[in-house]
Structure 1
Amino acid sequence: MQVSASLLCLMLTAAAVSVQVLAQADMKDTNETPLACCLTLTHRKIPLNYLKGYELTSDKCPLTAVIFKTRRNIQICADPTKKWVQHAMVYLNDLKT
């Protein structure tokens, strides 16, 4: 019972943050890096000063998403069609140059 209560708490916490990243590590005999896929997308705008980078999910993933990486190394999945996401991507690209 306590294991399922802990599991439920963990799942609710993940849902509250609205972010899940799934790493697929089933590429045994290849030199490819594992795919990072998003299961859910955040609806909250992330302040630009929290972000340090991003990557796009593979076309093999079930959801098209942008995975932002925060300064605290937290990965947050977002909808690439949202204006704030596109603005954040441009902002991060400008930081690199």
Structure 2
Amino acid sequence: MDGIHESEPSSVYHVDDPDGSRAAAEVAELAGGAVARMFALVQEYDDDNDEPVREVVAYGMALPGGHVMTVLPSGAGLSKWQSVDSASRRTGSELVWLV
């Protein structure tokens, strides 16, 4: 494949910013303070022994413009939603903000 060289350095590698906090602040500044937020949709149910089980049923990202996407933990099943509340309500899941 032309133009692809496996030995090229990553464009997101920051030697002097190991936790990415400076890079994240720069992106927030570029985006006018509005940044995407990550979340999980979690369901709780009782197993066969009536023990409570909590399970992540999807991971999601809420974009600054209000668009919301979720994906199953397996990486399949990309979905779009009107809002995080809609995704939570329609999947019968608890919304847990990750970032």
Fold-level match, TM-score > 0.5?
A: no
Relative to its length, the structure with more strand (as a share) is: 2
Relative to its length, the structure with more helix (as a share) is: 1
